Homo-oligomer: A and B are copies of this chain.
Amino acid sequence: MAALKDIIARDYGTPAVVIDLDIVTHNIARLQAACEARGLENRPHIKTHKSPELAAMQREAGAAGITCQKLGEAEIMADAGFDDILISYNLIGEEKIARLAALIPRARIIVAADNPVAVDAYAEAAKRAGKPLEVIIECDTGRKRAGVESVADAIALAERIKASPQLRFAGFMLYNPEDAVAQTQAFLDEALAGIRGLGLEASIISTGGTPNLSNLGRIRGTTEHRAGTYIFNDRMMLACGAAELADCALHVYTTVVSRAGPERGILDAGSKTLTSDIGGLDGHGLIREFPQARIARFAEEHGFLDLSASSRKPAIGDVVRVIPNHVCVVVNMVDRLIAVRGDEVVGEIPVAARGRIV
């Protein structure tokens, strides 16, 4: 790896966000095979990479569609020709309605709702677009994020969707905690019975998350899965057992720029590169060359190294590779990823939807 490190430091400088396309290809193929083995469609979440080029690799491997978290991401993906997009987020307010209305004619769009305000916004957008819009009901079975908490709320939303001539009920979107398969099944079964009572059928039952790949297909009725992080993996995925070191496709190359004390040092990657997402872990990343060195805290451009547990210590000028705690936020910090295959740089991949928070 020394040669590649030298090339990246020389040609791009550090910190640099680098992905290995061989590992990316392997990760994409493995998830696709897992979905197919269980008869599920694969709808990868592009919030991890925000790149039409990488989404195209997922599609070419067999993905049936993609998932976006924000309308701005969906617009970028529609621009790039993606034609089956689930936006897994409540879209609310006039600005979102207007943009959604413009997007609806351009692709198959499915939107998620957990409340009547969002459903009414979708009806208005579909009316303006002059084309029916599919709505999936987001259900919360323990994560306490978005999603209706009760089957009664789910049924009430399904009725509201049914009552709108512009909307089509698509099904249920789940993002259950990894240990909540049984309670999620119970919720889903009851919700399915409820909507059948309304004369509706769910064409999509969507599960989500890379940590939930261990549960893939375990919820009866599932038709598709949304995973994002699996394409690169990170320290959180290592910690939960969803990935091994060889599956980690993304590294941040960073230089040791200070060693002012014998037991400490400074990396040129801080919270503006690796971000402060901690994900329940200790420290801010895994240094491949010095796994006992702890990235203890951050300033914006400084990663504070605690070297007290590391028998070997890096020298000033050393370039090291860090697996970040959370890749999805790291990719979003940069305008392009440096792509390698093994020891060779093969190009750059724009993060076209970086910063598309609106």
Contact = CB atoms under 8 A, between A and B. Distances in A.
Nearest to A333: B355
Interface string A1-27: 000000001111111100000000000
Contacts of A11: 95
B9 A259 contact: no
A115 B15 CA distance: 19
Interface in A255-281: 255, 257-261, 264, 266, 268-269, 271-273, 275-278
A9 B148 CA distance: 25
A281 to B, nearest CB: 12
A212 interface: no
Copies in the complex: 2
Contacts of A333: 332, 355, 357
A47 to B, nearest CB: 6
A70 interface: yes
A143 to B, nearest CB: 9
A260 B147 contact: yes
Given A115-B316, A272-B329, A358-B16, A145 B304 contact: yes
Contacts of A94: 9-10
Q: Interface residues of A toward B: which range? A: 35 or more
A302 B70 CA distance: 11
A140 interface: yes
Contact of A271 (B16, B117, B259, B277): B277
A78 interface: no
Interface in A78-108: 89-90, 92-96, 99
Given A260-B140, A277-B276, A328 B300 contact: yes
Contact of A144 (B12, B269, B275, B304): B304
A41 to B, nearest CB: 23
A208 to B, nearest CB: 12
Interface of A: 9-16, 47, 69-70, 89-90, 92-96, 99, 114-115, 117-118, 140, 144-149, 153, 255, 257-261, 264, 266, 268-269, 271-273, 275-278, 298-302, 304, 316-317, 319, 328-329, 332-335, 354-355, 357-358
17 contacts: A13-B93, A13-B95, A13-B99, A47-B300, A47-B301, A69-B300, A89-B257, A89-B268, A90-B257, A90-B268, A115-B316, A117-B317, A144-B261, A146-B257, A147-B260, A277-B298, A300-B332
